[in-house]
Amino acid sequence: MKALLIALLTLTWTLHAAASFDTYEFKNDAERARYQRLTEELRCPKCQNQDLADSNAPIAKDLRQEIFRMFGEGKSDAQIVDFMVDRYGDFVLYKPRLTGRTWLLWFGPGLLLVLGGLSVALLVRRRRQVEAKPQQVLLSADEQARLAKLLDEQNK
Amino acid sequence: MSKSNRAAFLLISLLVLAGFAYLVVVKLARNDGDALPSALIGKPFPAFNLSRVDDPAKPVTLADLQGPALVNVWATWCVACKVEHPVLNELAKTGVRIYGVNYKDDNAAAQKWLKEFHNPYLLNISDLDGKLGMDLGVYGAPETFLIDKQGVIRHKFVGVIDREVWRQQLAAKYRELVDEAGQ
């Protein structure tokens, strides 16, 4: 059983590793690392849950080749990313840019957190006020006056 | 906090939550499979310098495209394109102007296809290495662009154009471009 499991795991691992195997000759390790990072940061437009590095789709292969070609032209990372976004839209970025259309994506969670925290703080404050001086918080001025009057009459 | 303050706070919280819920529902409902919005809407059709499918010796450039028209990206290896082809033939018969981008295909196979299944295209651009396709943000075939008289991309449709799609989504948009050009 264990052997079978290991065999299966090995098999899936090799399949994954073989998913995209291009043979590009890089000038140095730094450039190889740069290529690795870029292809992992950019999303394959065809198979939308894979990055470029991982995808076997023809378009991913073409785009990897294009990235390699742009390396040869001395293009910067920003220029390469712009090239991709100009053609395929913000969608290809796994890390979306901060624009008018994406601010909710970036700040939405923080905003919700702040609102949530504010609600809790207000609730706690109110709870404390009620516990300290119930009448003053729970009753309106009129009601307090009436209560005082009633208590006065009873105490007489 | 007074009662009116509390009500206002509750109302605002509810509105914010409703807003988020609305966004989620609308975005999910509109997510029709894997069609991506094109980054090229409102931009001019990319320049190219390629050859014609019917005569590879003849060059073809952006100047040869005259909108309003459809620009249909297709290939003989694309099964869905075969489904779409008869519809394009019908459209061409009714006077819709259609250009073809033969995407990463074998030119001889493309010529054979056009001979066998009829040719709805005014002109076919041979994009052997897929460079024009890349400039168009194509990630599969078929994909179809609507360009206006000035050669600006106004709409993109990913997938097979059938009669239903044409009637419901594209006919009005094409008509609009034709009317615009006539003014």
A103-132 and B3-30 helices, crossing angle to 10°: 150
Q: Do A87 and B1 touch (CB under 8 A)?
A: no
Question: Looking at CA atoms only, how far is residue A8 from chain B in angstroms?
Answer: 31
Q: Do A119 and B34 touch (CB under 8 A)?
A: no
Q: Cβ(B59)–Cβ(B169) under 8 Å?
A: no
pLDDT score of B117 more than 50: yes
pLDDT score of B175 more than 80: yes
Instruction: Specify the pLDDT at position B74.
Output: 97
DSSP B53: S
With beta carbons under 8 A apart, name residues in chain A contacting B16: 115
Alpha-carbon distance B157 to B145, whole Å?
Answer: 6
In the predicted model, residues of chain A with pLDDT beneath 50 are: 15-19
Q: Do B137 and A115 touch (CB under 8 A)?
A: no
Instruction: Specify the pLDDT at position B172.
Output: 95
Alpha-carbon distance A58 to B104, whole Å?
Answer: 10
Residues with Cβ within 8 Å of A65's Cβ and at least 6 positions away in sequence, in order, are A22
| Range with top average pLDDT, A46-50, A145-149, B93-97, B140-144 | B93-97
Alpha-carbon distance B178 to B96, whole Å?
Answer: 10
Q: What is the pTM of this model?
A: 0.72
Identify which of B160, B163, B104, B155 has the alpha carbon closest to the alpha carbon of residue A59.
Answer: B104
Confidence of residue B13 (pLDDT cuts 50, 70, 90): confident
Q: What is the pLDDT of residues B36-83, one digit of tens each?
A: 778 899 999 999 999 999 999 999 999 999 989 999 999 999 999 999
Residue B137 sits at the chain A interface (C-beta within 8 Å)? yes
Supply B179's token pair: 């009317």
Residue B36 sits at the chain A interface (C-beta within 8 Å)? yes
Instruction: Specify the pLDDT at position A13.
Output: 54
Residue B132 sits at the chain A interface (C-beta within 8 Å)? no
Question: Cα B90 vs. chain centroid, distance in angstroms?
Answer: 18
Q: Out of A62, A90, A91, whose CB is closest to B130?
A: A62
With beta carbons under 8 A apart, name residues in chain B contacting A88: 36, 39, 137, 139
Q: Chain B interface, mutation test: which of A61, A65, A87, most B Cβ atoms within 10 Å?
A: A87
Instruction: Specify the pLDDT at position B90.
Output: 96
State the average pLDDT for chain B.
91
Q: Chain B interface, mutation test: which of A49, A62, A123, most B Cβ atoms within 10 Å?
A: A62
With beta carbons under 8 A apart, name residues in chain B contacting A104: 23
Mean pLDDT of B152-165: 94
pLDDT score of B118 more than 80: yes
Question: Looking at CA atoms only, how far is residue A87 from chain B in angstroms?
Answer: 4
Question: Looking at CA atoms only, how far is residue B159 from chain A in angstroms?
Answer: 12
Confidence of residue B2 (pLDDT cuts 50, 70, 90): low
- Is residue B124 helix, strand or coil? strand
Alpha-carbon distance A82 to A130, whole Å?
Answer: 58
ipTM of this complex prediction, to 2 decimal places: 0.76
Q: Out of B9, B16, B140, whose CB is closest to A46?
A: B140
Using a CB cutoff of 8 Å and minimum separation of 24, what contacts does A62-69 make? A62/B130, A62/B134, A63/B134, A64/A20, A64/A22, A64/A39, A65/A22, A66/B134, A67/A35, A67/A38, A67/A39, A68/A22, A68/A24, A68/A35
pLDDT score of B24 more than 80: no
Confidence of residue B170 (pLDDT cuts 50, 70, 90): very high
Give the chain B residue whose CA is nearest to the CA of A49.
Answer: B34
Give the chain A residue whose CA is nearest to the CA of B17.
Answer: A112
